[in-house]
Chains A and B, each alone.
Chain A
Amino acid sequence: MKNLTKLKSLFTAVFLLLGTSLMAQTISGTVSGEDGPLPGATIIVKGTNNGTTSDFDGNFSIDASSSDVLVISFVGFVSQEVSVGDNDQLTVSLVSDNELEEIVVTGYGSQREKEVTSAVTKITAEEFNKGPISNAAGLLEGKVAGLSIYSKGGNPNAGSTIRVRGISTLGGNVSPLFVIDGVPGASIDNIDPRDIETINVLKDGSAAAIYGSRGSSGVIIVTTKKGEAGKIKLSYSGEYSVAEKMNAIQMLTAQEFRDFNGADLGASNNWVDQVTRQGITQNNSIAASGGFDKTSFRVSVNTRDVEGVVKATGFQQFNTRASIQTKAFNDKLSLSLNSSYTRRKSDLGNSQVLEFANVFNPTAPVYFKDAPQTIQNYFTEEQITRSGGYFQTLGLFRSFNPVAIQEQGIYAQDRNEFAYNIALDYALTDNLKIFATAAKNRSSAENRTSRSVYDYNTQANLGDRAGRVDYGDYENESANYEIYGTLNSSLGSGVDMVVTAGYSYNEADFFQKTINVGDFPDEAIDYSYSIGSSEDLLNAGLLGLGSYKAPTNKTIAGFGRVNLVIDNAIYVNASVRREGSNKLGSENRWGVFPGGGIGVDLNKYVGTAFEKFKVRVGYGVTGALPSGSGLSQLVYNFSNSDQATTQARAANPDLKWEEKAETNFGVEFRNGPLDLTIDYYSRDITDFIFDTEIDAAVFGFNRRFENVGDIKSTGIEFTGSYDVNDIWTPTLTLSTNKSELETYTTKDGITTGNLGSPGQNATNMVLVKEGYQIGTIWGPVYDGVDTATGKPKFKDLNGDGQIIAGQDKALDPQGDFQELGQGYPEIELGFNNTINVGKFQINAFFQGAFGHSLVNTWRAFFEPRIGSQFAYNFVNTKYADDDLKAAAFSSLYVEKADYIKLANLTVAYDLDLPINGISSTVVSLNVRNAFVITNYTGADPTPSIVDGGYDAGGGSLSGSGNILAPGIDRRNNYFDSRTFTLGLNINF
């Protein structure tokens, strides 16, 4: 009800504004559109509040003087200005604005661009990044100010990490909501980038509010291409790419290693070369679209065969999409069906291959048989047999022959994704429309890891156990049902209104099954297809079986929105959403989240005549939820060895919605060749939900989910472009974001982001504490080396005369710790250049990030000249110090990672073939990651905004991870790759 009161006062203000007007001569006239008279059009005497609306036949009369100018406007048509002059009888024809004005999808409907009151960026197909993009999110990399998309390294199977305006919560969902053809929550991965028509990014809270909690981290609305009635059109596009590794970690060569007195095993190998290759990618798409009468369709097929630069990684994907639209009942009913199916077979590869390729002794041979006899003598026949003939330095910690682990395992994933939706809308009257959609999305993945009986790594070949097979079956299913209506009406006096109201129901299910067994007889077959031959079946302790089903995750919401256009220059929108989730405490499941905004076309009020000069302000509140289940519930684990349950989490019946309130202020300007948009936002997250330590004596267990603090974020986003003589169009996007933990009930804070094994466990590198930015890298400050002991010296930061740098003092005022850098960049930059010369189109896109640091974990582990490291290999950057002989995390390993790179360079040429039936033929040459300029000594200076942990354990690199520990460049991060692509696009 509170919101209704707000609405009322809004109306009052609007009517007051209109007021009454002066009288003069009476002018009468008729307003019509292409299809006849327009009832309800607004006629206003320019510069006054004097106005009227046309009647049912389009007729109007208004008092005006001969020097007045009338402004005639109607929703969906371009406004027109007419000088009164001597005429007392006017005939005005308005032109529909569909073709003339950009339409922006804003959630449950669309608006003309100028009516938008929030920060929404629209990107069309022409603006997308080019080249071999294996993930549709890559289309937008660097294109939208405030949208951070990073795919660290060149692993084709790793997804992108996507953030809208930085981190939006500590424990909740930080990824934006994708809405594909009206279906919220659909996966961006199963779209062929060529099927996409436009992408709208809703950045601020007032825009996202209508989508509720799932949109609390921003909303990305994807609209796919649709067919048009008429002749059937065919198009083909194909790409052939070659990828090569870019920057490698700086290690010693075999000869340098020998000269350095490293343990010489008699051979010379560049292990990185051994495990990498030139990766070939082929990509083919065919689409057909067309239609007849009132029905149109589009179907497309895409195949993609991608090789990673690391051998035995890549995927093959088959993707289809079909859409059909039709109209019935005098065009009152529109019906559409969209469906897509994707199948991707991936080779994920062993995630530790690159770590071992870098640190495995460069003088070791690939095979035992190639080792000098003196070295072979140390091994027994059995050891050599057990290693499958691959040379292994048995007895070194975390050191395995990279070629062996690459070749002795299968790391396969087979993913299927099927999505469809049916949408209909029906016009009850000219002004009242009802929309309904039903959508389902089902994805399943089977992970199959099979390690050879000769695999010497980890748990695969343990003692008397030979080989191991791991299965994982994962099923995600979600359903979404929505119904809403929109009412267009003119309230008279130059006020047009659109009311939207609706209901949304969403449920999501997750189910997984895992099996792992080992100990197989020999190397005869791939035992992942014959797990019954496992000897582990005789030993319960070695057998791993698991299944888990998440509770059905339900979100139910009702929503309403009012859009007003006043005076054809003031745009107001107000929305409210009441949403419930079954994750929260029983008394706190429902929340009410308002949003609103106002935009003003200043041209009209300051007397300028720019093409666009608009200011807008928006405010919106959304709820946010973590992704886990049973957050508020008391949970017990069952131990089958004890046949008993034990508590695993304490209940929190008071758990309530985390709320995000965001205020956005924007200015849009366009005149001639110049186009500028600037946004400033301020965001307050209150009561964020986090897994928190509690009194173990009282709750019986020391952790549960609680609402524990507030976060404040601010940022500025700038987009500017300038069209130089229709030849060169540079576009610059810049954004800043700063997020600070304002309050946190754990006053002394926590640290997270463990550096890890060997030797640097219990070493957390990131601070989470009240008063500090999210992503603060935290540690002692390096102060040279104590040459007597080889130990690093640290600075006495608090000046108390003693140096305390032990990790258990990291949060203690006694400890000498300080901020060493920030994981998040301060400024992100995109600089796009489009050059059209004749039949050539050249596109050069630079991307950069500044102000972020990375912990170079390669150096932290392998650069000190530790005695034992002489059996591995050393990192050898400009920071290497031969006197430093002990490893301990400090500022020495935190590097500024500012960079700028030519991310994308495309030259396209229109062959303009004089062949009948072919409308265009374009060939293109593209280079991704042409060069990068940075001082960072690791392989890739891209910000690491989510942490995958210190050891992915030989399995896949998953996209999920610790969002609180940005800024850590891990040993399993894949090299970045440079890709050259030849493309051909034919439209028939």
Chain B
Amino acid sequence: MKNFLKITLMSLSLIAFTACDLEEELVSDFTSPYVKAAGGGGGPTYSAGATDGSSQRVSDNIAGAFGKLRSGSAGHGSYWSMQSVSTDEMLVGVKGGDWYDGGIWVVTHRHTVSSAHGPNGNAWNAQFNGINEINNVLAGSITANEKAQLRVLRAFFYMRLMDMYGGVKIVTAAGQDPAQSTRKQVFEFAESEILAALGITAADVLSGSIDLSGSDLNTSPAKYRINQYGAMGILSRLYLNAKVWTSANTAGTDGTARWTEAANAADWVITNGPYSLVTDANFSLPNLSARPASSGLNDPETISGVLTIGAPNNQDNPEIIFSIDFDQASGKGGMPFAQMSLHQPSQNTFNLASQPWNGYQTMEDFYRKYEAGDKRLGWFLSGSQKSSAGKQLVDWAYDDKATAEAVAADGEGVHGTLDLNYSPYINELEPDSWRQSGARMFKFRHKQYQNNDMDNDFPIIRLAEMYFNRAEGRSMAAGDWSQGLADVNAVRTRAGVAPFAALSVQDFIDESGREFIFESHRRTNLVRWGKFTDAWWEKTGAKGGSVGDPNKNLFPIPLSQIQAANGSLTQNPGY
């Protein structure tokens, strides 16, 4: 028994003394945020005059926060897709065996998404990740200017959230768990943050006597950061949607309109900003999409005017006020528009890095809103397609051989042959949307030897929007659309089409659509105009779509977030 006791004691002591250093030291991951010394510096410095966008970049503490904008703003399966495929701009047709994807793009187009919709959830998370990043950086030591920029950027993320989901939790520092705010409260928060950064009051904006001398924001021309013009542009958009965003109902009818403020903010940017609408005369760029001369296709060596707005080398475009920096060389990725839209053989037109996915198509009716001669038709690829060697592209998997030859020409392209021919005509949304149907995205032009991640900067605020905001704000305030005629014509005519003699609501809606296609404005605008729940094409009750239900003006709060929030988030009505 003695030995037994000894052993027992020994083992007990071993068990007791096994306490030891068990700190886990992560050696390859950061466990606290990296923050540069206050006032910037330490990062790369960029030479002025460079053509790769570097002249637009600045060294500061807030690159990570602005970098969050790249997530989903111009890519597949998140914010951009939800904002675009849900409208009359775009569709992702089910192409036989391709793009069914569990039906998620069909329900997005037909407004029957559920709260478990993946891309809808991605959009929610992307905005909150951005907000969290901003909250973390705001807690550090940064300059007053950086702080002001981040407050506006955070307000911008909240604008997207209230636009899509209505009321959300307003979090201004890490770890807070506030109650869910109403949409109106989110609006008021965003308004107060932007006004604070600008150093003005709402009354100043209403009166039009705007003095930004007290603002911490500067007037720097750096497009990847927010200056006074960018902030004022965002404010203009906020006020333009005030009636919807302060409304308690999902129809957006019982809120308070702020048309005059929207117009005044836009007017201030147009009047005071160093920006100008691009025209063929005032701005041109080398055409990076051009196929070599040996192809015999005579692609122009330069592009100008409206074609430069989304060009891969658009960083110095004088119309852009605030944009997202996408850059292949430095790894700033997230814009795969070429992949998302082009058919596989078009890889050989642009020598793309990898096969495109043949997904996103332009709605036929929308495409046909452009009249002949509109230079903005250059924002699409349609018709017969040739390779970079000038050879006709072929699609071995051309539409169903059994019926192909029976399909008639529609005037712009012949279906059902080996030759690749993008026709504006689209036979159906599903289940067999012809593989070559629909004009394809080319506003954000694909350059030769394009990687999956494109180089084109994605504008968030550009001057043309200010013209439209001023036009709409003034017209709505006055109840008279002639107030907007000059502004709309200013933008319209530079595309080479005749000015409107008079402006109707429908003209305005169509012109806005033509100008801002692919820039993810359309859904917000349709909701504001009360048209988002209308029927169109295959978005009809007969096709199983939702029509006339105001609840569809909001997307559902993602199911996984409702569950994770443990009762602190209330789902939107109708979901």
Could you tell me which A residues sit within 8 Å of B by CB distance? 4, 261, 263, 361, 378-380, 382-383, 393-398, 429, 431-432, 458-459, 462-465, 485, 487, 489, 491, 497, 499, 501-503, 505, 539-542, 547-554, 556-560, 576, 578-583, 589-590, 629-630, 632-648, 692-702, 746-748, 750, 758-764, 789-791, 805-812, 814-815, 861, 864, 866-872, 885-889
Identify the closest chain B residue to A361 (Cβ).
Answer: B396
**Contact assessment for A888 and B98 in the assembled complex, using a CB-CB cutoff below 8 Å:** no
**Contact assessment for A808 and B116 in the assembled complex, using a CB-CB cutoff below 8 Å:** yes
Identify the closest chain A residue to B9 (Cβ).
Answer: A501
The interface residues of chain B lying within 8 Å CB-to-CB of A762 are: 101-102, 104, 118
In the assembly, what is the distance between CA of A342 and CA of B566, in Å? Answer: 52
Q: Does B435 contact A (CB under 8 A)?
A: yes
**Contact assessment for A463 and B7 in the assembled complex, using a CB-CB cutoff below 8 Å:** no
Question: Could you mark each residue 20-63 of chain B with 1 if its beta carbon is under 8 Å from any beta carbon of chain A, else 0?
Answer: 10111111111111101000001110000000000000010111
The interface residues of chain A lying within 8 Å CB-to-CB of B560 are: 693, 702, 746, 750
The interface residues of chain A lying within 8 Å CB-to-CB of B103 are: 805-808, 888
Identify the closest chain A residue to B394 (Cβ).
Answer: A378
Neighbour of A396 across the interface among B169, B329, B332, B396, CB < 8 A: B396
**Contact assessment for A560 and B11 in the assembled complex, using a CB-CB cutoff below 8 Å:** yes
Nearest CB of A to B372, in Å: 30
Nearest CB of B to A227, in Å: 33
The interface residues of chain B lying within 8 Å CB-to-CB of A699 are: 132
Could you tell me which B residues sit within 8 Å of A by CB distance? 1, 3-4, 7-8, 10-12, 14-20, 22-34, 36, 42-44, 59, 61-68, 94-104, 106-107, 112-118, 124-125, 128-129, 131-133, 135-136, 168-169, 171, 174-177, 327-333, 343-345, 347-348, 350-355, 357-358, 387, 389, 391-402, 404, 418, 420, 430-432, 435, 448-451, 453, 559-561, 563-566, 568-569
**Contact assessment for A394 and B348 in the assembled complex, using a CB-CB cutoff below 8 Å:** yes
A–B complex contacts, Cβ < 8 Å, 11 sampled: A263-B397, A502-B11, A558-B15, A559-B11, A634-B32, A647-B132, A696-B129, A699-B132, A812-B114, A867-B96, A888-B100
**Contact assessment for A558 and B345 in the assembled complex, using a CB-CB cutoff below 8 Å:** no
In the assembly, what is the distance between CA of A632 and CA of B23, in Å? Answer: 11
Extra 11 A-B pairs, beta carbons < 8 Å, given A487-B3, A698-B175: A464-B351, A465-B449, A540-B331, A553-B24, A560-B8, A646-B67, A646-B133, A759-B98, A763-B102, A789-B431, A886-B430
The interface residues of chain A lying within 8 Å CB-to-CB of B128 are: 696-697, 700, 702
Identify the closest chain B residue to A811 (Cβ).
Answer: B116
**Contact assessment for A808 and B104 in the assembled complex, using a CB-CB cutoff below 8 Å:** yes
Nearest CB of B to A526, in Å: 23
Nearest CB of A to B23, in Å: 6
**Contact assessment for B14 and A501 in the assembled complex, using a CB-CB cutoff below 8 Å:** yes
In the assembly, what is the distance between CA of A431 and CA of B328, in Å? Answer: 72
**Contact assessment for A643 and B397 in the assembled complex, using a CB-CB cutoff below 8 Å:** no
**Contact assessment for A700 and B136 in the assembled complex, using a CB-CB cutoff below 8 Å:** yes
In the assembly, what is the distance between CA of A583 and CA of B106, in Å? Answer: 43
In the assembly, what is the distance between CA of A806 and CA of B100, in Å? Answer: 10
Identify the closest chain A residue to B453 (Cβ).
Answer: A541
The interface residues of chain A lying within 8 Å CB-to-CB of B391 are: 378-380
Neighbour of A868 across the interface among B95, B330, B448, B449, CB < 8 A: B95
The interface residues of chain B lying within 8 Å CB-to-CB of A640 are: 331
Given known A-B contacts A580-B22, A808-B102, A459 and B354 have beta carbons under 8 A apart: yes
Neighbour of A633 across the interface among B31, B59, B418, CB < 8 A: B31
**Contact assessment for A581 and B29 in the assembled complex, using a CB-CB cutoff below 8 Å:** no
Nearest CB of A to B37, in Å: 12
Which of B7, B136, B353 is the most central at the interface, judged by chain A CB atoms within 10 Å of its CB?
Answer: B7
Neighbour of B28 across the interface among A489, A502, A549, CB < 8 A: A549
The interface residues of chain A lying within 8 Å CB-to-CB of B327 are: 541, 641
In the assembly, what is the distance between CA of A317 and CA of B331, in Å? Answer: 41
In the assembly, what is the distance between CA of A501 and CA of B348, in Å? Answer: 71
Given known A-B contacts A630-B29, A644-B63, A698-B169, A808 and B98 have beta carbons under 8 A apart: no
In the assembly, what is the distance between CA of A361 and CA of B328, in Å? Answer: 35
In the assembly, what is the distance between CA of A70 and CA of B17, in Å? Answer: 46
**Contact assessment for B11 and A501 in the assembled complex, using a CB-CB cutoff below 8 Å:** yes
**Contact assessment for A462 and B104 in the assembled complex, using a CB-CB cutoff below 8 Å:** no
**Contact assessment for A886 and B177 in the assembled complex, using a CB-CB cutoff below 8 Å:** no
The interface residues of chain B lying within 8 Å CB-to-CB of A871 are: 396-398
**Contact assessment for A396 and B344 in the assembled complex, using a CB-CB cutoff below 8 Å:** yes
The interface residues of chain B lying within 8 Å CB-to-CB of A806 are: 102-104, 106-107, 112, 114
**Contact assessment for A432 and B22 in the assembled complex, using a CB-CB cutoff below 8 Å:** no
Given known A-B contacts A462-B353, A581-B22, A868-B397, A696 and B98 have beta carbons under 8 A apart: no
**Contact assessment for A465 and B353 in the assembled complex, using a CB-CB cutoff below 8 Å:** yes
The interface residues of chain B lying within 8 Å CB-to-CB of A747 are: 563
**Contact assessment for B397 and A867 in the assembled complex, using a CB-CB cutoff below 8 Å:** yes
Given known A-B contacts A639-B67, A647-B132, A888-B100, A548 and B28 have beta carbons under 8 A apart: yes
In the assembly, what is the distance between CA of A458 and CA of B353, in Å? Answer: 8
Nearest CB of B to A821, in Å: 18
Given known A-B contacts A395-B348, A464-B449, A497 and B389 have beta carbons under 8 A apart: no
**Contact assessment for A552 and B25 in the assembled complex, using a CB-CB cutoff below 8 Å:** yes
The interface residues of chain B lying within 8 Å CB-to-CB of A380 are: 387, 389, 391
**Contact assessment for A646 and B64 in the assembled complex, using a CB-CB cutoff below 8 Å:** yes
In the assembly, what is the distance between CA of A558 and CA of B492, in Å? Answer: 79
Identify the closest chain A residue to B428 (Cβ).
Answer: A789
Identify the closest chain A residue to B62 (Cβ).
Answer: A644
The interface residues of chain A lying within 8 Å CB-to-CB of B168 are: 697
Given known A-B contacts A697-B168, A868-B95, A558 and B14 have beta carbons under 8 A apart: yes
Nearest CB of A to B573, in Å: 16
Given known A-B contacts A463-B353, A558-B14, A635-B26, A864 and B97 have beta carbons under 8 A apart: yes
In the assembly, what is the distance between CA of A541 and CA of B36, in Å? Answer: 24
**Contact assessment for A397 and B355 in the assembled complex, using a CB-CB cutoff below 8 Å:** yes
**Contact assessment for A759 and B100 in the assembled complex, using a CB-CB cutoff below 8 Å:** yes
**Contact assessment for B118 and A580 in the assembled complex, using a CB-CB cutoff below 8 Å:** no
**Contact assessment for B24 and A551 in the assembled complex, using a CB-CB cutoff below 8 Å:** yes
Given known A-B contacts A549-B27, A748-B559, A808-B118, A885 and B431 have beta carbons under 8 A apart: yes
In the assembly, what is the distance between CA of A556 and CA of B394, in Å? Answer: 64
Nearest CB of A to B137, in Å: 8
Given known A-B contacts A547-B28, A635-B30, A696 and B396 have beta carbons under 8 A apart: no
Nearest CB of B to A432, in Å: 6
Nearest CB of B to A484, in Å: 9
The interface residues of chain B lying within 8 Å CB-to-CB of A432 are: 3, 7
Identify the closest chain A residue to B355 (Cβ).
Answer: A397
Neighbour of A590 across the interface among B19, B333, B398, CB < 8 A: B19
The interface residues of chain B lying within 8 Å CB-to-CB of A393 are: 396
Given known A-B contacts A459-B353, A886-B94, A643 and B44 have beta carbons under 8 A apart: yes
In the assembly, what is the distance between CA of A547 and CA of B28, in Å? Answer: 8
Neighbour of A759 across the interface among B22, B99, B420, CB < 8 A: B99
**Contact assessment for A397 and B106 in the assembled complex, using a CB-CB cutoff below 8 Å:** no
In the assembly, what is the distance between CA of A559 and CA of B12, in Å? Answer: 8
Nearest CB of A to B151, in Å: 17
The interface residues of chain A lying within 8 Å CB-to-CB of B29 are: 630, 633, 635-637, 648
**Contact assessment for B171 and A886 in the assembled complex, using a CB-CB cutoff below 8 Å:** no
The interface residues of chain A lying within 8 Å CB-to-CB of B331 are: 540-541, 640-641
**Contact assessment for A629 and B345 in the assembled complex, using a CB-CB cutoff below 8 Å:** no
**Contact assessment for B358 and A397 in the assembled complex, using a CB-CB cutoff below 8 Å:** yes
The interface residues of chain A lying within 8 Å CB-to-CB of B565 are: 695, 697-698
Pairs A-B, 9 closest by C-beta atoms: A807-B102, A501-B11, A644-B64, A700-B132, A867-B400, A395-B345, A462-B353, A806-B103, A558-B15
Given known A-B contacts A497-B4, A548-B28, A870 and B401 have beta carbons under 8 A apart: yes
Which of B112, B169, B401, B560 is the most central at the interface, judged by chain A CB atoms within 10 Å of its CB?
Answer: B560
Given known A-B contacts A633-B31, A644-B63, A762-B102, A868 and B353 have beta carbons under 8 A apart: no
Given known A-B contacts A429-B3, A432-B3, A763-B102, A395 and B401 have beta carbons under 8 A apart: no
Neighbour of B561 across the interface among A634, A696, A761, CB < 8 A: A696
Nearest CB of B to A366, in Å: 17
Nearest CB of B to A157, in Å: 27
**Contact assessment for A810 and B129 in the assembled complex, using a CB-CB cutoff below 8 Å:** no
Identify the closest chain A residue to B329 (Cβ).
Answer: A541
